[in-house]
Amino acid sequence: MSGFFARLKADAADAWWAYTTHEFVRALGEGALSRAAFEHYLTQDYLFLIQFARAYALAAYKAPTLADMRQAAKGMSSILDTELRLHVSMVERWGLTERHLEEAPEARETVAYTRFVLDAGARGDLLDLMTALAPCVIGYAEIGHMLGLSASGRAPDNPYREWIAEYSGDAYQQLARDAEAELDRLAAISLTEARYPRLLALFERATRLEADFWQMGLAVDD
């Protein structure tokens, strides 16, 4: 393993494992997740992504170079032009609309995670913000890749195959690789050993909040 992201992932291995192999993820890949759980998750994820688009707008403001601004704009565009549309297209199958998603109240888990990330960015610099964003951006690519390799994840009768295809697809995988490279580049410029424990704490907290987000989806079946 090499690079800043790889170091963070290794040092937060327990939290990362709990996030990427969560029961929600396994059920999604098997096609066994209840529609109610997925609908609740998808609605909250729509609201979540709106706040994450704002985080990328904040990244553009914090960016020290034009190249950094363009990278932030790329992340924002991916959310607004691709991921949000995927969510709308999936709920439309169930007779729901984009308005239903936009007007839904934010769950506590959604508020906790998104405001944590926005606060990390507001208080820190671009490296702080990108570290807090990394579990979502790069983690979804890892999960998508894993589920996309499984027979059940690719099965025509898996009701969540469109979601899996989106995050296992070449476009999102490249987005995640670019995000990892950008994180490593920023760390090469401004990381110090004295600063590392605080960044690791940010990364691990965001990773645990991701796992809480999955658990929120399962809670509707309790």
CA distance 16 to 167: 18
Query: Which residue in the list 83, 109, 136, 180 is annotated as catalytic?
Result: 136
Residue 180 known to be catalytic: no
Q: Active-site residue 102, yes or no? A: no
Q: Which of 109, 142, 204, 210 is catalytic?
A: 210
User: How far apart are alpha carbons 87 and 41 in whole angstroms?
Assistant: 10
Pairwise CA distance, residues 29 & 125, whole Å: 36
| Catalytically active residues, by annotation | 136, 210
